[in-house]
Structure 1
Amino acid sequence: MKTGLEKAGWIVLIVLNTGMLLNHVVAIFLVATSADEGRMFIAYAVVNAFALLVLFFAYRARQRWAWASIWLVVLATAVTIAYGIDTIGLIYVAVAGVMALAQLATAREFFGAVRGI
């Protein structure tokens, strides 16, 4: 990433996805009270692991598909509010919001400056 804003956005995405990955891996063993919950945590851990692979390789290479695919991670994180408006749901929505802002901070790196008419 070239500029400070884009680099900061990229770093925020890496930090949040790393934190979420660790959270979900730990939750598989310490939080899940049923096989279904365990599977859910495994699925989210895989999403975060995939996001980190994309961020470290294709995202850094400024491949547009990588930028688009990270929005799926933002969506997967935000959609957890559908399980209920509780503390966990609100935390996930807040994290998704920060991810979205970080993602938008990198847009110029992928698409160039927006020109006025």
Structure 2
Amino acid sequence: MPIADAAVLRWTNQSDPNAAAPGDADRLHSLNLDQRVVSVVSFEGEWSRIRFGAEEFRVRKDCLMPIGSVAFEVGDSVNAAGRSCTIRDAIWHFKDAEPNFYLEAGGKRLSKRFKVDDLDPV
């Protein structure tokens, strides 16, 4: 499903834990989500509520680089190269200024990266 408000999450193991809401910093550190394309769900005071697949977090706005809308998000079903797949990861490619999508099909991770033009919604 298209994401109307997408952003690139800038969160590394060196990020200030106070830049995430209480309880979210440890989960962000453990998942290593730096440079991931996330959906911005809402704004709650100083926090931006973001979603990456089934996970939701609250981070400060300065942890995000807005990128506008993107066609797919983690968890979406797509067709790629004649196969039915699920998007397992979305990483921002800074040089190309677009997301790279990583897929799985039949429970197996595909090693190739895909661009939005390679994918068709199911």
Q: Same fold (TM over 0.5)?
A: no
User: In proportion to residue count, which structure has more helix?
Assistant: 1
Higher Cα radius of gyration: 1
| TM-score normalised over the length of structure 1 | 0.32
